[in-house]
Amino acid sequence: MPSRFGAEGLWWWSIARGAPSRRLAPQENSSDLAVTHHCDSPASRSDTVAFIGRRLAADLHDQLSDRGQICLRVVIRALIRTPDGDQELERVWRCTDQLTEHAIVQRVRWHLEGWLHRFVSHAAATVGESEYESDALNNAGVPDSVEVDATPVGVGVCELTLDPIETKNSSMRGLWGAKEDHAAHAALARVQTMLGPDRICTPVLKGGRGPEDRIALVPVGESAPNLPSSTYAWPGQFPAPIPVTKRVERGPSAAHPVSGVSLLDEDGRDIIVTGRSLLSAQPACVTWGTKRYDITGWSGPWPVDEQWWAQGRRFARLQVTTNQPSGLLLICRGKKWRIEGVYR
């Protein structure tokens, strides 16, 4: 076999007979709608790169419109010239909603500027800061050229490809509420361009034991990753009802969840959870920041012994109802209490 067909023939023969040593040969993700731009010279300026991305996004959007389709997942692939040779990078973006022309342009700009900045920083560390002149930097912090061994080597994009590997037929918008939804998505996309794609998130329900374990934050416009199913039964799962207000990390309010929380008995002494998972006294009130609430009922505590070998992982939960219209879900870790959730 090798003498007649060579190494390639031997490789195909091993695949045909199902040899256990063969590796997977997955089908490459590609489509016939991919658009590519070849640069005559490496493009390193942010405005030039943005113009190329805008034109490719427009061409891609026109092709999709002609077919009556919208893009849900797109591959941004770039060939970048560096002092160490050409580097090919790609990033896959997938959204539950339509990837509009403007959304694709923004994502192209994010990644190209980030990739260029990475290679330029690497080149600067290689050849030294003295090789860079401050007036060679543009508004994106990308120098027009890098000199290695006294030979100017351009750092920039040589080729850019947008490949919509997942599309679907477009659907007509509804008569009611579509305009408001579109405006809301546009506003969120605008904030993402200023703060970053991972800074604006929406909560998604997932499987878990505690209330915090059942919430995952997914960036707006992206599909949720493979999360544990919330429909399965979890051993030791916190019983219903689940508090609707999740603990927040920051805030100046005196009644904020990160403000000081104390559980007191009738004599005003602090209550803790003992080693036998019992309360040290009958709870009478709870103080939360500058607020004080009388307890009308309580349930628990429920010890949580997950990763009992880890330092600071053991804690206990306690549900309390107060003279206010909302109930509280408390957590005791050591001798300190905090609010995990609020019932509305």
Largest Cα separation within the chain, whole Å, is: 94
The dihedrals phi and psi of 59, each to the nearest 5 degrees, come to -65, -40
Residues facing 203 on adjacent strands: 217
Q: Are residues 78 and 159 in the same domain?
A: yes
- Does the residue 121 lie in any domain? yes
**DSSP secondary structure letters along 299-323:** EEEEEE-TTTTSTT--EEEEEEEES
pLDDT at 133: 43
Q: Are residues 331 and 285 in the same domain?
A: yes
- The tokens for 201 are 């998130």
How do 315-322 and 327-333 pair as beta strands? antiparallel
Lowest mean pLDDT among 41-55, 103-117, 179-193, 283-297: 179-193
Distance, CA of 68 to CA of 58 (rounded, Å): 15
Q: Are residues 97 and 162 in the same domain?
A: yes
pLDDT at 110: 79
Model confidence pLDDT, tens digit, residues 200-217: 888 888 877 777 778 888
Q: Are residues 226 and 162 in the same domain?
A: no
- Does the residue 14 lie in any domain? no
CATH code for the domain in which residue 99 is found:
3.30.1490.100
- Does the residue 226 lie in any domain? yes
- Does the residue 108 lie in any domain? yes
Distance, CA of 338 to CA of 306 (rounded, Å): 19
- Does the residue 135 lie in any domain? no
Q: Are residues 157 and 104 in the same domain?
A: yes
pLDDT at 299: 85
pLDDT at 283: 92
Q: Are residues 209 and 292 in the same domain?
A: no
Predicted TM-score (pTM) of this structure: 0.45
Q: Looking at per-residue confidence, does 268 or 144 come out higher?
A: 268
- Does the residue 3 lie in any domain? no
Q: Looking at per-residue confidence, does 270 or 15 come out higher?
A: 270
Q: Are residues 232 and 261 in the same domain?
A: no
Q: Are residues 119 and 41 in the same domain?
A: yes
Q: Are residues 39 and 107 in the same domain?
A: yes
- The tokens for 211 are 């209330």
Place of tokens 């030039």: 48
Q: Are residues 233 and 262 in the same domain?
A: no
Query: Looking at the predicted structure, is the pLDDT value of residue 291 above 80?
Result: yes
pLDDT at 175: 53
Q: Count structural domains, the chain.
A: 3
Model confidence pLDDT, tens digit, residues 63-93: 888 888 888 888 888 888 887 778 888 888 7
Residues facing 156 on adjacent strands: 81
Most confident of 21-30, 126-135, 233-242: 233-242
Exposed/middle/buried for residue 284 (C-beta within 10 Å: 0-12, 13-18, 19+): middle
- Does the residue 30 lie in any domain? no
Query: Looking at the predicted structure, is the pLDDT value of residue 130 above 60?
Result: no
Distance, CA of 133 to CA of 154 (rounded, Å): 15
Residue % of the chain over a pLDDT of 70: 70
Distance, CA of 171 to CA of 120 (rounded, Å): 43
Strand order in the sheet with 156-169: 35-43, 156-169, 69-82, 85-94
Domain that holds residue 307: 257-343
- Does the residue 322 lie in any domain? yes
Q: Are residues 47 and 161 in the same domain?
A: yes
